Every structure is written in C-alpha cells, then in structure tokens.
A and B are shown apart, each in its own frame.
Chain A
C-alpha cells in the first residue's frame, strides 16, 4: 500500500465524521508513516485464504459463556 497523502488522511477523517484541526491532520499523517509498517506485518503475504480470524462466530454458542463446549447435542 502506498503512503497516505495529506488529502487522503483528511478525507478519511472527514468520512469518519471527525472535526480535526489542520495541525492535527498534519500530525496524523506523520503518525501514519509509523503505523503503516506495522500494518504490513499483519497482512502476511502468502497467507492461506481460508485462515480464520481469532474471533469466530458460532451459531450455537451465541452465549458461549453458558457452556464452554459451545452447546452439546
């Protein structure tokens, strides 16, 4: 992913509904440069497309806390 331009940062913040000063937009863009390599680490090239996330929806265990087995037959 390419680096976010200042205008891109401004658009994303506006899309999020935030009213941010020009100085803070500048600063957030600089901080993005620190964050971007961090995000590269979670993208993991070559990951098997079927790898599940850590939080998995289970239809029979919506209230998982009542039964650690997720519901017995």
Chain B
C-alpha cells in the first residue's frame, strides 16, 4: 500500500474500499521501519490507534462515518496536550507530564474520527532546536537524513513527508509550521490568529502562537482546518465566527485574483537560492496563465517584522518560563535556555515598543496590500541545510518570509513548488487577509494542481526517489497518490 492523501483515503473509506484498520497498520509498519532514522515520534500510541481504527471501521460498515477524517491516521506535535498521554514539549522538564485533558484542537480532531498515532518531535518548547542534549534526538529530513527539517513542527513535517501519518498538528510563532513544511516538501497552513484555539497548546509567545495543520496537499490542509477551526470560549483570543467551507473554492483557477508580490524581499533583503527563485517565478507564471493579476507591492522591510517577532517572542517566552528558568535552568537544553535567557535582558519599555511597532506594521501591511487579494512570496530562503550547520544564534541574524504573517496574524500556507540542489524540495508561500482562508486555499490549490505537485514521497533514508529533470522546476516521476514503499 502507498500512503494516500487524506482526500484519497476519505474517498476510499467512504466507498468501503479502504479499511481504517489496514490503513493504520500501514502507518504503524512505516513508523516501525523508518522512524529509527527519522526520529519523528516522541511517543507512539499504536494500541490506542488500533482501537480507534476499529471503531472507525465499525462506523464505516454501519454507514455512520463522521466525515472525511474518520479513520484517518494523524499525530500531534508534542506541545498539544493529550489526556493521559505524556506531553513533553520535547523537554526534560515535562518528561512526566500526563495532562488531565486534551487540547481543544486535539478534541476536535478526535471527534472528527481521526486515529491518533502518537506525539511528534518538536524543538524544545517550540524554540530550542535542533538540540542534541535532550532526551530525544531532533527529527531528520526524509529527503536527506543529514539535512535539517527546520522547526519547530519538525516531526510533523517529516512524518508527513515520509508517509508515516496523513496529517498532523503544528504551531507557528515565527514560521514553525511553514518553514518545516517548506524544507520537508509538504503543505503547512498557519490559519488566521484566533481562528484555531490555543487552549491546551503549550505557549511559546502568547500573542504570536498560531495552532495549525500540516499535510501532503493543500486539499488535505483544508480538510483538517475544517475540523479544527472555530470558537473556543476558553481561549481569549478565539474569535466568535462561523467557520466557512474551507474546501468550497478548491478546484477553481486563480482567474481574476490579484496576487501581490514584493520582489525587494527576496532579491535584496533576503536573497533566495537559485532553485527557490526559479520555482517562485514558475508559480507566478502559472497563476498569471490562469488569469491572475500580479501586482508589485511596497511593503515594510522584512527586518522590521523580524525585529518585532524576536522582541515579543523572547519577552513572552521568558515570562512564561521564568519560574522554571529560576529553579531548573540546567534541565533545559542549552539552545532553548540561552535563547530565552536573552529575554531577561530586554527592558519592559522595549517590549512595549515592539507591541507598538507591531500595530504600526499591521496598518502599513494592510495599506500596502489594499489593492490585492493575496500575497505570494518564496517559502524558505534555501533548500534544507545540513543539520549540523544550524547555529544557536542564527535566528537573530537570518530573515524569513514567514514572520510578516505572524506579526499581522494573517493566514499563510507553504506549498511545495519544486526541487532544487541535492533534489531537496523548495516552496512558495501564499498569505491572505484575516479570515480569508477559503481564498488562500483556492489560490494555493490552483497552483498545486497546475504545477503537477502530486509527486512521489521520498524514499527514506537513502534519498529521494524522484529525479527532477531541472533543478527548481518540478518534474519527478508522478505516481499518484504516492510511491513510497
């Protein structure tokens, strides 16, 4: 069996052509075969998964399926609380924490009938990684296990790329869904701030944290988002809005859509690799050919968004961890504790200035984008670097295209857009205005389909099983839904 997409699995289960029990056994077998190299999982809950799969199969046979996610194997980033199951945040500090209740998002996905296969590797408390001084090793990139996954939803992205699960939760404070999605070649969606509940998700920075989802395709992200979006009165940031049909616009072209671009960002402020640039320009060509209008925007500098993100994140993270940092400093991994200790050096006035700058940037961003419907940027700056090359302080000096949409809270998605050096995936990012997820998903899906992004998953751990004909432009051997073993 090949690991299907969520959409394909849903169709097959609904037609009684795929057994949820067989599907979960397929995933368990892949985890058993591959996770020793990939380190995607901190905990595997296969017994529970088998029970949930049997229940889903009973519903399938009785004609009482709960929806498209019923019987679909997923896993959760290990900062999402799971009742009775250790939730570690990939940290020694929480290695014996068994939450009394599920995170709100976990509950919603369980109610939708998903089968939970376990808890996924992250960076310590969603910031400290890749770390090699913690009880669990960092996740490895399935396209090349010597390469970085990015983070912090590292296990989520790697597990989907390798076909160990069909979908996963993630969280995004400064790119932590979209950047691992980009480096691992999967789709990663950060919804609008307030669309998905943060209840039960261990915080990194209250005002920047966005729970979200990752999957192999844009359509799968839409299906997952449908389950997790909605009001939660326990989350004070949760917005009281009815969730629209996030799949309603899938299948439409981008005709008539006004797509904003900011060439200065990737040409001078944050120069991208040749493959990233070519794949990005290819994406613009595809949308243009569909009838979209490409509009150049004058946006604030990336470094301004970067500064706001870092100042707010370090201060809020230090405030959250202050009691533990005082009592158990040495129990943290070195990368996390040193990064967050910087927050102790930032003045209260500077934190407030960052919040004021954030409000200015929100206004400037909205004004700059007033004439467009979405904004398209490259995904990550480069292909995945060697995992050993990532430094403790690199986050202070490197720019990214993700942070503008954490600062503003706008929804954004990373979509696989091709392959570059060493056959490593590259990505494009699309962002939309708040609560415009249906349009965002439409534009992303229009690209994904037209660019023939339904590619083979990597063959782990010996390297990718596909050979792009031309770096930066996708043309691997297509074998839908996937060709993994």
Question: What residues make up the interface of A, taking CB atoms closer than 8 Å to B?
Answer: 4, 9, 12-13, 15-20, 24, 27-28, 31-32, 34-35, 38-39, 41-44, 47, 51-55, 63-68
Contact = CB atoms under 8 A, between A and B. Distances in A.
B239 A39 contact: no
A66 B307 contact: no
A28 B396 CA distance: 12
A56 B236 CA distance: 13
A16 to B, nearest CB: 4
B401 to A, nearest CB: 18
A63 B238 CA distance: 10
B410 to A, nearest CB: 13
A12 B345 CA distance: 6
Given A32-B345, A34-B397, A65 B231 contact: yes
29 contacts: A4-B345, A12-B345, A13-B345, A17-B326, A19-B329, A27-B338, A28-B342, A35-B310, A35-B314, A38-B311, A41-B308, A42-B308, A42-B311, A42-B353, A42-B356, A42-B357, A44-B353, A47-B356, A51-B356, A51-B360, A63-B233, A64-B237, A65-B231, A65-B233, A65-B235, A65-B236, A65-B239, A65-B240, A68-B239
B344 interface: yes
B421 interface: no
Interface in B184-209: 207
B345 A18 contact: no
Given A63-B233, A65-B235, A38 B306 contact: yes
Nearest to A38: B307
Given A18-B341, A34-B396, 11 more contacts: A18-B325, A24-B341, A27-B338, A31-B338, A31-B393, A31-B396, A38-B306, A42-B357, A43-B353, A55-B355, A66-B240
Contacts of B358: 53-54
Given A9-B345, A13-B341, A35 B353 contact: no
Contact of A28 (B241, B304, B341): B341
Secondary structure dominating the interface of B: helix
Contact of B354 (A4, A42, A51): A42
B56 to A, nearest CB: 32
Contact of A67 (B240, B345, B353): B240
Lowest 8 A-B CB distances belong to which pairs? A53-B355, A16-B344, A41-B307, A17-B326, A54-B358, A54-B359, A34-B396, A42-B354
B362 interface: yes
Interface residues of B, number: 44
B303 interface: yes
Contacts of A64: 236-237
A39 B396 CA distance: 11
B352 interface: yes
Contacts of A66: 233, 240
B240 A68 contact: yes
Contacts of B303: 41
Interface in B300-355: 303-304, 306-308, 310-311, 314, 318, 322, 325-326, 329, 338, 341-342, 344-346, 350, 352-355
A16 B322 contact: yes
Contacts of B318: 16
Contact of A53 (B350, B356, B393): B356
Interface centre among B235, B238, B350, B358 (most CB of A within 10 A): B350
Given A54-B359, A65-B231, A65-B239, A31 B342 contact: yes
A32 B338 CA distance: 11
A13 B308 CA distance: 22
Contacts of B240: 65-68
B345 A34 contact: no
A67 to B, nearest CB: 6
Interface centre among A18, A20, A39, A55 (most CB of B within 10 A): A39
A51 B356 CA distance: 7
A57 to B, nearest CB: 12
B146 interface: no
A12 B350 CA distance: 15
A28 B233 contact: no
B296 interface: no
Contacts of B342: 28, 31-32, 35
Nearest to A56: B359
Interface string B204-242: 000100000000000000000000000111011111110
A21 B351 CA distance: 26
Contacts of B354: 39, 42
Nearest to A68: B240
Nearest to B240: A68
A43 B350 contact: yes
Interface in B357-404: 357-360, 362, 393, 396-397
Interface centre among A4, A12, A31, A35 (most CB of B within 10 A): A35
A35 B346 CA distance: 9
B329 A18 contact: yes
A64 B241 CA distance: 12
Nearest to B231: A65
